[in-house]
Every structure is written in structure tokens, then in C-alpha cells.
Structure 1
Amino acid sequence: MADNYDTFKALGVEIYSVSTDTHFAHKAWHDTSEAIKKVNYPMIGDPTGALTRNFGVMIEEEGLALRGTFLINPEGVIKLCEIHDNGIGRDAKELLRKVQAAQYVASHPGEVCPAKWKEGAATLKPSLDLVGKI
């Protein structure tokens, strides 16, 4: 995410990283990890698990959170929710594509972006004519 942060910002997207660690642990991690030093977006500590429970990603037995990605529009509506096991990585470029698709359909009512849609590609208008053809 850190490598693509400027691209997300250019689209008006704000990124927050949340973990069940404290902000003290985040600072130590930021100060010692070359990869984490590149992170320019807020790292939020959730040691009580309140936020991670509210988003349904808390693993109670371990006191850890699953890897959750939530795309929330300016009106506060969740438009995308992906929850991965902690052993499964996420792809920032794929998330960027999904952000672009969400922004496109928000500004083009009645259109949908098919799977693997890329910015500038054709969209669809849902109709009975498409049933069984996509």
C-alpha cells in the first residue's frame, strides 16, 4: 500500500492501517522496519479490539485481527469488503482497480463494471439481455 499511496491520494482516497497493537508498538515498528518507514498514512492502534470487532475481523482466541479491506464512500457506506486470512496477501494494484470501478459506477448510475474492468474499458448496463451471456 505504501508504494501506491500517492496514487490512492490522487483519487481522493484516504488509507488507514489498523491493528490490535498499541500506537507505541506502531512507532517502534515504524522506527525499525525499512518497509514500514515508507508508510505515510495513519497507523491506528486498536488494543481493545473495539474497531476490529465492529468490522468483524477480530480473532478473539488470538487477540489479533484478520486482514480486512473496507472501501467506504464519502457518505459512509461500505462499497467493498474483503477479509483475508492472515497468511493471504493483498494486492494494492487490484484494490486500486476496484476503487476506480467504485468511483466510476458512483458517477455513472445504471452502469456496472465487469470483472477485471480497467479504467477506460467498456462497462455494462444490466438487462435481461445479458442473462447467461457474461
Structure 2
Amino acid sequence: MDYDRDGALDLSVTRGYTATGGHFLFHNDPGKQAARRGLSVRVLDKAGRFTRMGAEVRLYDAAGQIVATRLVSTGEGYNSQGTQPVHFGLASMTPVTVEVTFMNRASRRTQRIEHVRPERYAGTELVIRER
């Protein structure tokens, strides 16, 4: 999660199995320029809900090469929860193509958005809604 919306992922840990409990927040501070080199993508279904677990998000560079890929997940393990939106750390701020593959029982459908400028989404997220 990026609790302060600076572009760098932070870590939230809840310690609930002790008598004292606790909630710890680890702030990631890689510097302003490095923090802005990221892109968060939120994937929604046709009704605008966060129910597209299993969707695959891919980023491509200008040459059409895959830069990164992530799955929209409901969690990553015992007693944990994954972050929504999916987050990508980028080597540069050059435009990318974002491709989302939506899967259901009957088929796979792909949507692409070309020439996405990561700096436009600094401190916010690119929202892709299934058509």
C-alpha cells in the first residue's frame, strides 16, 4: 500500500496475536524522483467493483517488449492481504502500453491502453474498467 500517495510502496503490519497487539507502518522513502517512477493500476469489473481477481496486468515498452506483469489478487498468504491496486516500479518515466486480460469461465478478453505516461498518475492510479 502507498499510504502517503508518494508513489513508493509502504508496508503496514498488524500484530494481533499477542496480549498487546499493535499496528506498525513502515514508510518507504527512496527519494522523490525514485518514488515517482511507478505506476499503480486499479482493475474494475463492468459495474465498477473490485471483483476482477485473476486479471493479468502487463506493461510493454515502446518496442513491444514486456516490462512487467502482475496478477490482481485477493491475498498473498496466511493471514495477509495483497494490495489493490497493482503497483509497478519503473526504470524510467517513458510511456508504456498497459494491457489487462480479464478472465471468466467462458473466455479471456484483453484491453490495451497505449502511450500511458506514468508521471500523469503520480500520487494516484490508472483505473481500467472492463468493457
TM-score by length of structure 1 reads 0.27
Structure number with the higher helix fraction is 1
Flag the structure with larger Rg.
1
Which has more strand, going by share of residues?
A: 2
Normalised to the residue count of structure 2, the TM-score between the two structures is 0.27
